[in-house]
Amino acid sequence: MHVRHLFRCSGFLAALAICAALISPAAAQRVRLPRAKAPLTLLGFEAPDAADAWTGMQRHIVARPVSEGKSALSILYPKWDGKGDQYLPATIAWADGRGYSTRDWSHYAIATFDLWADGETPLDVTLELRNGPDQSPFTKELVVKPGRKNTFALPLGDAAEAVDLSDIRSVTFYGIRPKRDTTVTLDNFRLLPGQKPPLAAFDLIYPNYRDTIQPSASSVKAGAAISTEEYGIDPAGLTMTLTASSGKASRSAQARASASRAAVSVPVSGLPAGPITVVARVVSRNSGRILAAKRWVLHKQTKAEAASVKVTIDGRNNLVVSGKPFFPIGWYGNANLDQLEEIAGSPFNTILPYGVNPRSKAYVKRYLDLMQAHGMKMIYCMNDIYPTATYLDKSGWEGISGNDNIADAVVRTFRNHPAVLAWYLNDERPKELVPRLEAYYQRVRRNDPNHPCFIVIYQMPEVKYFAATTDIMGVDRYPVPSDPVTEVSNEMHVAQAAVKDHKPVWAVIQAFGWYQYDAAFPDRGRIPTEAELTAGRAPTYDEQRCMTYLALARGAKGLLYYCYYDMRVLPQYPEMWAGLKKIASEVKALSPILLEAEVLSPVTCAPADAGIETRLFDLDGQRYLMAVNGRNAPCKATFGLPHVPNGKVSVMFEGRFAMDVAGAKLTDSFKPYEAHVYDLGRPER
């Protein structure tokens, strides 16, 4: 259940509940700044009038509890009545220094502060940092446990994904739906300097899946992010070497480092199957001294081993099922057989059903058998038995208790069923659980080497922490109607950066209305009011097709729609279902291109601010251009093509030809949210 998205149900700014991950121009252009030398107390509340600069909730200075000094700030969040605003703000603004001591946080690495809550019930609080009233914020959800000091440490690198740290104009603490009048005390808001970055941060580029070198692979590749500013080293004097060895056989390669990056490939085709040790080093060319190093132990498969794997991930980040590339087009749903039958026979090929594990083993077997009979695949949902989950504490599973024991038993029971595609381990968990989730992933991976693991994270600045907890990264952004649909593009960008393009990224596309998640009205199938349609309608066909193509244009290797059981009870269900089947038919037709084509250099687009997202493919010499208008406005754009078409340029799925083609330029019109796929033919030889 996407519980955290429930925050979007009020009329409050939509960016609060789904942590905004828009990449700001400032973030894109940011350069590394010198680290601060000492901590800075931003808010200490020692002055008698320290509460006066705040707005919003009732607040005053108190003598206890305090972190240090003699006073702190007390904020009263009144009980939510179920009808008014669920988000209760207490805000302090920069105000030329009157609010707090500096708006430039860019020299610091961590913001830390202490919170207390009275009573016996935890309070959900959201911290918001904002550059200005009309700019996207960074938000972080916190749970304040009563009767104790809660010390929170926020890595400012997370915030830098969304806001410009050199210009923090306001800080807000929102109380979320208090169950009773709750007093929260805040003290000791400080900025802390960061640690010196490593000279070289290594990453393994290939193999990209479970340290396994496939028999067809010719080389292993590793890279390193280089940071020499604080070491007094000229990056031009550095070399990166990569050595792969198996027994007495060894291969080496090297390349010069740039000011920020180095990458080296070393051939392994001549090395025998089995364990291969790979060592990367950054070396000073002047002295020959090794300045940084990293070691991996990989496994090179035999052809027989590779053939025995049921589902794997290839070097292009494609899912491979029984030796063939597979593009999942699926739904989040439930484990009801009737809904499975409804989806079967459509262009969709995958279902991720919630609520599987509370069912009996016999029922799940029946469900999987039915999926197999329909030629469909199931992503097996295990996010109800992650390490700290409590869903099965009372019931257990088939006489087994304890999440670890249940997870072991579930995987071992169903790992050989041909309908299983992957294991779903994590649905939007917080980064504080990452160490336990990594252990959970390793447990599932040991129990089943034949199927990958999949997670979904919506907290964009935190995605980078989860890279080691999964084989496939999923992101879910549900922007309609409050936010631009281009948030789908932004989330894809952030997720791909988080996994360094070494793992597949799948997109989850909105197929529900936010009004369905109003806590005061639990009937999701009710006829919405005009106000609900304004604040929380479901996406239109054009918006859903646009979000789908935005994800594909950013390189999504799989698509899921959230969610079938919500969409099924919408008043417009028949039209919406028909439209989504049409979209899925297009994606299915494009699957060979999405899976097997080479992605070429981006095309030029004029005007430059047209807002068109493009992706250019070459499949066995045949070229295709995908172009998506992510704006709710018509436009005309001209694309610079990689070659002069030697015939008519057909527009796929539209039954027409592009009429305005002159030399290597193609001009076409776009309706709001419209996407076109052009068959550009083959270049003349």
Pairing mode of beta strands 420-427, 453-457: parallel
A 10 A CB-CB count for 137 gives: 23
Q: What is the CA radius of gyration of the chain?
A: 27
Residue 310: C-alpha distances to residues 319, 372, 420, 647 (Å): 11, 14, 9, 42
Determine the pLDDT at residue 338.
Answer: 95
> Which residues of the chain are modeled with pLDDT < 50?
1-32
Structure-block tokens of residue 575: 């039209």
Burial class (CB in 10 A: 0-12, 13-18, 19+), 152: middle
Structure-block tokens of residue 37: 């030398």
- For the chain, the average pLDDT equals 92
Q: Which amino acid is at 82?
A: G
Spatial separation of the C-alpha atoms in residues 19 and 28, rounded to whole Å: 18
A 10 A CB-CB count for 116 gives: 23
Determine the pLDDT at residue 22.
Answer: 36
Torsion angle of C-alpha atoms 38, 40, 44, 48, degrees rounded to 10: 110
Determine the pLDDT at residue 16.
Answer: 35
Which residues have a Cβ under 8 Å from the Cβ of 85 and sit 6 or more positions away?
Answer: 10, 11, 12
Determine the pLDDT at residue 33.
Answer: 55
Spatial separation of the C-alpha atoms in residues 434 and 562, rounded to whole Å: 24
Spatial separation of the C-alpha atoms in residues 586 and 420, rounded to whole Å: 25
Determine the pLDDT at residue 393.
Answer: 93
Q: Classify 343 in phi/psi space as left (phi over 0), alpha (psi -120 to 50) or beta.
A: alpha
CB 626 within 8 A of CB 549: yes
Q: Classify 681 in phi/psi space as left (phi over 0), alpha (psi -120 to 50) or beta.
A: left
Q: Is the dihedral of CA 316, 321, 323, 327 positive or negative?
A: negative
Residue 210: C-alpha distances to residues 165, 207, 222, 360 (Å): 36, 7, 15, 32
CA angle 379–381–384, rounded 5-degree value: 170
Residue with tokens 């979904």: 456
- Residues 337-348 pLDDT 10s: 999 999 999 999
Spatial separation of the C-alpha atoms in residues 424 and 473, rounded to whole Å: 11
Question: Greatest CA span in the chain, whole angstroms?
Answer: 82
Determine the pLDDT at residue 4.
Answer: 36
Residue 615: C-alpha distances to residues 10, 160, 551, 600, 651 (Å): 36, 27, 11, 8, 15
| Nearest alpha-carbon partner for 617 in 645, 593, 588 | 593
